[in-house]
Structure 1
Amino acid sequence: MTSSPPVALTIAGSDCSAGAGLQADLKTFQHFGIFGLTTVTCVVAETPQIVRSVHAVPPAILQDQLRVLLEAFPIAAIKTGMLFSKAHIVAVTELLSNYPHIPLVIDPVMIASTGDPLLEDNAIAAYRDRLFPLATVITPNLDEAEVLWGAPVRDETTMGRAASELSARHGCSVLLKGGHLGEPECADLLWQGGLPTWFRAPRIEGAASHGTGCTLSAAIASGLAMGRDLHDAVAGAKDYLGKTLETSLGWNGIAALNQGTVPW
């Protein structure tokens, strides 16, 4: 019998265009040699250019998917993406609170790259109060960090303040993504154990952006599933995301990340 690969689970929405959501996560897991499991929160009719409709899976069905997977598989890491509502977050936390040993990466998905909302307003407090305390790391972008922190995040100085305070407030590490600053260099800040580490990479003009947050958080979860520490998992994820951006694909004006098939 061949040896079994590490197992990772994504709790996320389904993107029918396969550039974001659980489809992006599975491609990323496959790249790193991880066996990927999925718990579907929502079915989204979208492309990188438009979100047409969102159909939420009933929270009881969400919880049943999660329960059967946690009972059956030796899950080595979990990531969350689109959770949509307070009821969905509660359903997830009721089960994950029983598995504190599994590393948990939370991508607090709030708004699609098109600008369409992907989270109900009442879910933000549930993120803060219920899910973040269970996290190994949360991975907000600047817009999400402003909502969670409660103040504008417009430069690297305020990125440091926001990451530090969010980490202290929720008792977890924070990877604050700085791509929306629009600088020639994309700077992401990992705040871990009270210490900052910056990860910098040149901005790739014209590259696809749909699914970058999903891909990065899935790559971090992959690293953790393989037993890497958080710093090394983030470094490997950043390198992988850069390669998917450099080799972006396109059809009829639609740009997509080259997930899962970039060279090692």
Structure 2
Amino acid sequence: MHASPPVALTIAGSDCSAGAGLQADLKTFQHFGIFGLTAVTCVVAETPKVVRSVHAVPPTILQDQLHVLLESFPVAAIKTGMLFSKAHIVAVTEILQQYRGIPLVIDPVMIASTGDPLLEENAIAAYKERLFPLATVITPNLDEAEVLWGAPARDEETMMRAAHELSARHGCAVLLKGGHLGGPECADLLVENDLPTWFRAARIDTEASHGTGCTLSAAIAANLALGKDLHEAIAASKQYLEATLATSLAWESLAALNQGTVGFH
């Protein structure tokens, strides 16, 4: 008898340094015993320290990937990461609206940890109007929430208002990630069916934060594919993320070694 693990699909960009994007998603799926599928939106030449270039996959090719995967596999959960443009969001929405029964985790990737933009400005309205209404949960960080909500959320009180309003506006659960608040702990807020739940964890002092948003949203999708409810999925995913940050890896780059400077982490 062949093993048939649950299947999850990531629709995301390719990070050639493999710390974020679909590479991080696949590693996360594997950890949870999920068979991972990938639909590539962009090829990104980057490391944790620099984004050199972004090469978008034509939206028709993105749709071809989605068609063949969703027709061929019993996909139990889907996550989206870097979608890059309005055309890509529209292409994804046209397919996914035919698969509304599959849990959908949307990480609205807008800005790289280096500060480089990963989303064209005219794509934000497409997220709000087309894709968010299909979501089980969206997972913005505070910078992304400011763009989506229209005002900064810089403390837990405004996080609460932002999450409630975004959830009501888009008809989905919102996991608002508070890691950018600073302080001794990271506090993430889930609002689901107008009910708030805080997920708190001690802050881990590490420079290796590249790809944390990708990893968390992929872990949530993996746990939903395993049949957990959203609260259980987020709790398990937060534990996994804490473990990866606590055991993060670091190398000196060749250029840094040659110059006697610190490499990337």
TM-score computed with the length of structure 2 as normaliser: 0.96
Partner letter of residue 81 of structure 1? G
Return the index of the structure with the highest Cα Rg: 2
Compute the displacement of 1:50 (Å): 0.2
Partner of 1:224: 224
User: SS state of the match for residue 208, structure 1?
Assistant: coil
Partner of 1:254: 264
Please show how residues 1-264 of structure 1 align to structure 2 within 5 Å: 1-252=1-252, 253-255=263-265
Partner letter of residue 195 of structure 1? L
Compute the displacement of 1:64 (Å): 0.5
**Contact in 1 for aligned 2:10/2:25 (Cα 8 Å):** yes
**Contact in 2 for aligned 1:207/1:246 (Cα 8 Å):** no
Partner of 1:262: none
Partner of 2:255: none
**Hey, what's the Cα distance between the residues in 2 that align with 1:55 and 1:69?**
22
Partner letter of residue 172 of structure 1? C
Identity %: 82
Q: Deviations over 1:74-123 (max 9, x none)?
A: 00000000000000000000000000100000000000000000000000
**Hey, what's the Cα distance between the residues in 2 that align with 1:29 and 1:4?**
14
**Hey, what's the Cα distance between the residues in 1 that align with 2:16 and 2:162?**
34
Moved over 6 A (4+): none
User: SS state of the match for residue 197, structure 1?
Assistant: strand
**Contact in 2 for aligned 1:111/1:118 (Cα 8 Å):** yes
Partner letter of residue 173 of structure 2? S
Q: Deviations over 1:193-246 (max 9, x none)?
A: 110000000111124110000000000000000000000000000000000000
Compute the displacement of 1:152 (Å): 0.8
**Hey, what's the Cα distance between the residues in 1 that align with 2:91 and 2:45?**
23
Partner letter of residue 213 of structure 1? G
Aligned length: 255
**Contact in 1 for aligned 2:178/2:186 (Cα 8 Å):** yes
Compute the displacement of 1:254 (Å): 1.9
Partner letter of residue 98 of structure 1? Q
Task: In structure 2, list runs of 5 or more residues that go unmatched.
Answer: 253-262
**Contact in 2 for aligned 1:207/1:245 (Cα 8 Å):** no
Compute the displacement of 1:2 (Å): 2.9
Task: In structure 1, list runs of 5 or more residues that go unmatched.
Answer: 256-264
Q: Deviations over 1:129-158 (max 9, x none)?
A: 000000000000000000000001100000
Compute the displacement of 1:21 (Å): 0.1
**Contact in 1 for aligned 2:206/2:245 (Cα 8 Å):** no
Partner letter of residue 196 of structure 2? P
Compute the displacement of 1:183 (Å): 1.3
**Contact in 1 for aligned 2:219/2:237 (Cα 8 Å):** yes
